[in-house]
Amino acid sequence: MSTVAVTDATFESDVLKASKPVLVDFWAEWCGPCKQIAPALEQLSEELADVVTIAKVNIEDSPTTPSRYGGIPTMMLFRDGQMTSMKVGAMPKQKILEWLNEAGVQAA
């Protein structure tokens, strides 16, 4: 499973009402650090498909949702409709994986 594109219109159903944890990446085409972490998020979306959904919100196309949660590059973990953990800035795949593990999202 690859990353899921989420918009203002689908945020509630795709993230807040999701049955499993969702890592949301708020990004923009012009954001260099956002582009740096994109390949790692794609890989993790394949590797961890059974335990977490990796979603991407383009702040240019969907400005309402990011304005409620903060700037970019920001990754947030949502569970049961609540943001439970947040990381700001680019980080390598291993650090993202460590963050997810610390937040209780473990590979099966």
Q: Which residues are catalytic?
A: 31, 34
> Which two tokens mark 73?
């590059």
3-class DSSP state of 32? helix
Residue 20 backbone phi and psi in degrees, to 5: -130, 170
